[in-house]
């Protein structure tokens, strides 16, 4: 999917603790929890009708950029977010390690 001005925006829905992309009735999400200064990414979901458009990657990048900007340590429990972090080394210094 191209990253042009016509792309639907990623919205931070702080009340629901998730990042969202809405296209018509469909909603792609990346959910998180906060624990002190840690942000724990728990689940990412893109509806089947929206798969293959790069929405999961857009959600991951937006969510991780938000976490870094806020000074959170990242805990990628969600397999999708964890894989994204492994592929993008710029986020690895911000990952919380036990």
The domains found in the chain, sorted by start residue, are 11-94 (3.40.630.30)
Q: For the whole model, what pTM was predicted?
A: 0.92
pLDDT attached to residue 6: 81
In tens digits, the chain (98 residues) has pLDDT values of 445 568 899 999 999 999 999 999 999 999 999 999 999 999 999 999 999 999 999 999 999 999 999 999 999 999 999 999 999 999 999 999 86
Q: Supply the DSSP string of 4-67, one letter for each residue.
A: STTSPPPEEETTTTEEEEEETTEEEEEEEEEETTEEEEEEEE--GGGTTSSHHHHHHHHHHHHH
């Amino acid at each position: 999917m191209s990253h042009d001005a016509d792309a639907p925006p990623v919205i931070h829905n702080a009340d629901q603790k998730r990042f969202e992309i809405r296209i018509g009735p469909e909603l792609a999400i990346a959910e998180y929890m906060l624990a002190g200064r840690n942000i724990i990414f728990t689940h990412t979901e893109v509806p089947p009708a929206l798969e293959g458009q790069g929405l999961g990657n857009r959600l991951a990048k937006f969510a991780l950029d938000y976490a870094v900007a806020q000074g959170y340590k990242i805990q990628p429990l969600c397999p999708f977010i964890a894989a994204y972090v492994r592929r993008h080394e710029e986020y690895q210094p911000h990952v919380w390690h036990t």
